[in-house]
Amino acid sequence: MAKGGKEQLRQAVDALVRGELVALPTETVYGLGADAANPDAVAKIFAAKGRPADHPLIVHIAKHADLDQWTVDIPPATRKLTEAFWPGPLTLILKKSSKVPAAVTGGQATVGIRCPAHPMAQKLLQEFAKAGSGIIAAPSANKFGHVSPTTAQHVRDEFGEGLLVLDGGACEVGIESTILDLSRMKTLKRPVVLRPGAITPEMIRDVLGEMPLQPDDVPATRTSAAKQPRVSGSLAAHYAPMTPLKLVDVVALQKEMDARLAEGHRVAVLAFSTKAKVKPSPVGVGVRNARRLVWISADADAAGYAQSLYANLRTLDAAQTQIILVEAPPGLPEWAAVNDRLGRAAVGSGAREGTAPSA
């Protein structure tokens, strides 16, 4: 479906009101959306993605929406964070109100809420508020565990042409939102970062006056473990290509690439270098021409790397090589979200028939 347009937006609102699914752009990734207040509609998300029923969804709300409708016991830090980062790539875990169906939260007493910054998502939410509940449950618009989509075509590649897709262009951020748990503020006194993203702990510190906790900072007691909310993207294997993916440093990259090419393997590479000892094939033609090496040069800036990460992984996966070698990014704080996604991608990769996950 072509980009934008009032008619396309009207069709999307009508579909949500009828309890159908709509793919929508956000600044992070494309979401597979349904009316979050309609359990039957929410069930269609889980069925389409093949997602476990106890894996909670994130609820998207419009700018200036009444947070008190959907959450209770809102801590004071919430207002400071929403004023600083909404609309934007920050999901807040709060105690849910009775209006949020258990189907959305995986049966938990908490819900993930965020206000997306993409103008098309905002317009959809605003128009849906006039015709329906105004809240949209929307995990990433891909099969469960696969590489997240950052363009409308990525969504069509996953679900075909039958799904209504609002085309908002390429996502600006490119990786999923930061998830910050505020539901345990009374006991922990500080929020907990449950998933890294573009909103960093340092940015949160600048708003709240102290650093948020990391999961490892929370005392590992049976009680604390039971109370930690389950959230999207927290599984060890996630965001994964079908081709085995291996993270290596720059020295190991050259050695392993040379060894595999010598064995007659075809290799795909995502690396900071723009040169390889073996002439690489142009991006996207590896399968057609059976080239031995498909090479993408990665952005040296963390934000730029993140924005193109999933598109790059999808391109390399489509080349159907024996392995994808990724030069490990720096272990610096600004690379935390990228390293999180790559680590999970490596663990979950290798589902294509005839391959096995990489070590």
Do 33 and 23 contact (CB within 8 A), yes or no?
yes
Express the helix, strand and coil content of the chain in percent, nearest 5 each: 35, 20, 45
Give the phi and the psi of residue 222 in degrees, each rounded to 5.
Answer: -60, -35
Residue 187's CB is within 10 A of a number of other CB atoms, namely 10
- Residues 71, 180, single domain; the answer is yes
Helix, strand, or coil (residue 140): strand
| Structural domains counted in the chain | 2
**Pairwise CA distance, residues 318 & 82, whole Å:** 39
**Number of alpha carbons in the 13 Å side-chain half-sphere of residue 16:** 31
Strands (E), the chain: 22-24, 31-35, 58-60, 71-72, 90-96, 110-114, 136-137, 164-165, 178-181, 192-195, 245-248, 267-271, 293-297, 323-327
* Residue 352's pLDDT band (cuts 50, 70, 90): low
The answer to whether residue 95 scores a pLDDT higher than 70 is yes
- Residues 164, 52, single domain; the answer is yes
- Residues 156, 32, single domain; the answer is yes
Q: Is 307 domain-assigned?
A: yes
CATH of the domain at 181: 3.90.870.10
* Residue 77's pLDDT band (cuts 50, 70, 90): very high
Q: Is 234 domain-assigned?
A: no
Q: Is 232 domain-assigned?
A: no
**Pairwise CA distance, residues 183 & 95, whole Å:** 6
* Residue 57's pLDDT band (cuts 50, 70, 90): very high
Mind listing the pLDDT tens digit for each residue in 302-347?
Answer: 999 999 999 999 999 999 999 999 999 999 999 999 999 999 999 9
Helix, strand, or coil (residue 144): coil
Quote the pLDDT of residue 285. Answer: 45
- Residues 268, 177, single domain; the answer is no
Taking residues 45-71, report their average pLDDT: 95
* Residue 298's pLDDT band (cuts 50, 70, 90): very high
**Pairwise CA distance, residues 291 & 271, whole Å:** 18
Determine what percent of the chain is predicted with pLDDT higher than 70: 89
Quote the pLDDT of residue 221. Answer: 57
CATH of the domain at 335: 3.40.50.11030
Quote the pLDDT of residue 228. Answer: 78
- Residues 172, 320, single domain; the answer is no
Query: Which has the closest alpha carbon to 91: 139, 44, 47?
Result: 139
Q: Is 235 domain-assigned?
A: no
pTM confidence score: 0.91
Q: What torsion, rounded to 10 degrees, do the Cα atoms 118, 176, 8, 169 define?
A: 70
**Pairwise CA distance, residues 15 & 13, whole Å:** 5
- Residues 269, 223, single domain; the answer is no
DSSP annotation of 59: E
Q: Which residues of 144-163 are buried (b: 16+ CB within 10 A; e: fewer)?
A: ebbbbbbbbebbbebbeeeb
| CA distance to 51, 256, 326, per residue, from 249 (Å) | 33, 10, 8
Q: Is 193 domain-assigned?
A: yes
**Number of alpha carbons in the 13 Å side-chain half-sphere of residue 158:** 29
Quote the pLDDT of residue 302. Answer: 97
Taking residues 111-136, report their average pLDDT: 97
Q: Which residues contact 242 (CB under 8 A, 6 or more apart)?
A: 317, 349, 350, 351, 352, 355
Mind listing the pLDDT tens digit for each residue in 227-270?
Answer: 678 887 767 677 889 999 999 999 999 999 999 999 999 999 99
- How high does pLDDT run on average in the chain? 90
- Residues 184, 272, single domain; the answer is no
* Residue 287's pLDDT band (cuts 50, 70, 90): very low
The answer to whether residue 284 scores a pLDDT higher than 80 is no
- Residues 313, 276, single domain; the answer is yes
Quote the pLDDT of residue 294. Answer: 93
Taking residues 115-120, report their average pLDDT: 98
Do 244 and 355 contact (CB within 8 A), yes or no?
yes
Q: Is 32 domain-assigned?
A: yes
Quote the pLDDT of residue 230. Answer: 80
The answer to whether residue 223 scores a pLDDT higher than 90 is no
* Residue 355's pLDDT band (cuts 50, 70, 90): very low
Q: Is 358 domain-assigned?
A: no
The answer to whether residue 96 scores a pLDDT higher than 50 is yes
What is the tally of helices (H) and strands (E) in the chain? Answer: 13, 14
Domain assignment of residue 260, given as a range? 245-348
The answer to whether residue 224 scores a pLDDT higher than 90 is no
